[in-house]
A = this chain, B = another copy of it.
Amino acid sequence: MLSCSPRATQSISQLHSKTLLLLQARGQQAQYSSKASTKTSAIGFIGLGQMGFHMAKHLRAKSKGPFVVFDMNKDVVSKFKNENSNVLVATSPADLASQTSVIVTALPESAHVKQVYLGENGVLRGIKKDALCIDSSTIDNSVSIDVSEQIIAAGGRAVDAPISGGIMGAQAATLTFMVGSQNAADFERAKVHLAKMGKNVVHCGELGAGQAAKICNNLLLAISMIGVAEAMNLGMRLGLDPAVLASIVNTSSGRCWSSDTANPVPNVIATAPSSKDYDGGFKSRLMLKDLGLVSNAAKDSKTPLLLGALSENIYRMIASDPTMAEKDFSVVYKWISNNKQK
């Protein structure tokens, strides 16, 4: 179970007063006229991609009231409308915003988030007062904060809520959401909806904190996975049986998720992607994308990452191979161990 430490909760309540001042200051400079708040609790969903399609389905099924969707891809919109009942289709993000008081977005990259919220016919052109925008995309920490602040300045509310759990988690509604918000009320309001699409909803801190937590976890994940790949490969070349080595590591100080759950050596963990030719799981090219967010954040915050920088570039080499790019990121074991046999 994920829960806030007492210390974190405290920092969030301290946050409230700061937030109020900020909101008062912002209120005066809001550059978009926000429409009057209404009693309707219509929900909007933008981005019916591989993740969003499943997430929206659960949210539709478990929510009352109108449900409005938007996606650039008309086919996927039709498909969603056909497969779910009580679905309205918006003509643009602005149109969707003008009809809803809660908006969930699930988009691929920073550029799409900026476009959907800030662009021509973007959400901000139609946002209602106090409408809550929940962005579940994994994007640059700095972009996320900037977009959220613009939403708030325009009269809305915003949280960042990137996801861990993958497509299978989206299908099964077992996702984890890491949430950043200006205050506890926004978090609680978002949680009601996020809990319909996942099983863990964790408050990570202020705006951008969800993005920050996600990329820090994935930075460590990438490093650990390469570390397991190197350690397993060394052990096997020294004559160790991989299952024996894994069993030792998994009860010792080397234990980690990359070894005990997703071990990159085939047939050590039957359910790991490595045992299914590295299919399923978390694609190398998506790990590379997240490591790109990591290095952007590290550059902005002047944080040195020695193993992290090297890991990003190892995944850049791996993802340059079109086949490996689509495999689970544990395929790094194959990359580093194959060299012998080439």
Chain A interfacial positions (CB closer than 8 Å to B): 1-5, 7-8, 11, 141, 164, 176, 178, 200, 202, 204-206, 208-209, 212-213, 215-221, 223-224, 226-228, 230-235, 237-241, 243-245, 247-249, 251-259, 261-262, 292, 294-295, 297-299, 301-314, 316-317, 319-323, 336, 339-340, 342
Contact = CB atoms under 8 A, between A and B. Distances in A.
Given A204-B240, A213-B245, A240-B205, A230 B306 contact: yes
Nearest to A297: B238
Contacts of A299: 292, 295
B316 A248 contact: no
Given A257-B253, A316-B303, A320-B304, A231 B219 contact: yes
14 contacts: A5-B244, A7-B241, A7-B243, A8-B243, A178-B248, A208-B239, A213-B248, A220-B227, A223-B226, A223-B230, A230-B306, A253-B261, A292-B299, A309-B309
Nearest to A241: B8
A230 B216 CA distance: 9
A270 to B, nearest CB: 12
The 10 A-B pairs at the shortest CB distance, nearest first, are namely A256-B256, A223-B227, A220-B254, A320-B339, A212-B238, A5-B243, A309-B309, A8-B244, A216-B235, A220-B231
Contacts of A251: 1-2, 200
Contact of A294 (B7, B234, B249, B342): B234
A252 B321 CA distance: 28
A309 B305 CA distance: 9
Copies of this chain held together in the complex: 4
A307 B223 contact: yes
A304 B297 contact: no
A321 B339 contact: yes
A213 B312 CA distance: 24
Contacts of A306: 226, 230, 306, 310, 313-314, 336
B217 A239 contact: no
B305 A307 contact: no
A28 B305 CA distance: 47
B254 A257 contact: yes
A253 B214 CA distance: 10
Contact of A342 (B11, B253, B262, B321): B321
Q: Which of A215, A314, A339 gathers most chain B CB within 10 Å?
A: A339
Nearest to A234: B303
A82 to B, nearest CB: 35
A239 B12 CA distance: 12
A228 B228 CA distance: 14
Given A220-B259, A234-B301, A205 B239 contact: yes
Contact of A141 (B238, B295, B309, B323): B238
A13 to B, nearest CB: 13
